Amino acid sequence: MKNKRIELIKGDITRLDVDAVVNAANNSLLGGGGVDGAIHKAAGPDLYKECESLKGCITGEAKITKGYKLKARHIIHTVGPMWYGGYRDEPGSLASCYQSSLKLAKENKIKTIAFPGISTGVYGFPKDLAALIAINETKRFINRHSLPEKVIFVAYDDDNYETYRKLLDQ
């Protein structure tokens, strides 16, 4: 990995001590399965209450909340696209998730942010394409902005870790 502002780790995003973790949320922001359910469970019931007040989020956009019981001070919730074979501009929507999340991080003076693989679980986005979009959008953003200072991609399993590692080593 050549970029000192980008890091890759394998682990549980809910346990990271960072300024913000990104939640791969659904449109309601009220919790779901996968990363979304894990973040809501770890953060506790106050997160649900704050998310209710946000009145949802459209696909490709992002909203920020407190981190509550997480070590992370904030949670940036972004809604990734469902995969329909690439015929509904899913790559563009996923790129927008990263742009929106990084913009919110910059606006809130977040120095360290951790991303899961957005849309790669039940939403079915191909993991290799999702990782490529994540890395490209992140590099594009951090090349133009001083914040966030560090972006961490968090892989939950060996396959995702290897996908990101190979792309970051190029």
Question: Across the strands, what pairs with 152?
Answer: 7, 114
Peptide bond into 148 cis (omega under 30): yes
Nearest to 63 by CA among 130, 118, 108, 33: 108
Is the pLDDT assigned to residue 1 strictly greater than 70? no
Is the pLDDT assigned to residue 3 strictly greater than 80? no
What is the rounded CA–CA span in Å between residue 72 and residue 31?
17
The share of the chain scoring above pLDDT 70, in percent, equals 99
Host H or E run for residue 130: helix 127-142
What is the rounded CA–CA span in Å between residue 151 and residue 61?
18
DSSP state at residue 82: P
What is the rounded CA–CA span in Å between residue 69 and residue 160?
27
Query: Selecting from 2.60.40.10, 3.40.50.720, 3.40.220.10, 3.90.280.10, what CATH number does the domain 6-169 have?
Result: 3.40.220.10
What is the rounded CA–CA span in Å between residue 119 and residue 124?
6
Six token digits for residue 65: 């909340």
Backbone phi and psi for residue 162, each to the nearest 5 degrees, phi listed first: -65, -40
Q: Would the pTM count as exceeding 0.95?
A: yes
- SS3 of 95-114: HHHHHHHHHHHHHCCCCEEE
Q: What is the pLDDT of residue 2?
A: 62
The domain spans of the chain are 6-169
Length of the chain: 170
Catalytically active residues, by annotation: 36
Render pLDDT for 52-104 as a digit per residue (tens, 0 to 9): 999 999 999 999 999 999 999 999 999 999 999 999 999 999 999 999 999 99
Q: Which amino acid is at 45?
A: P
The mean pLDDT of the chain is: 97
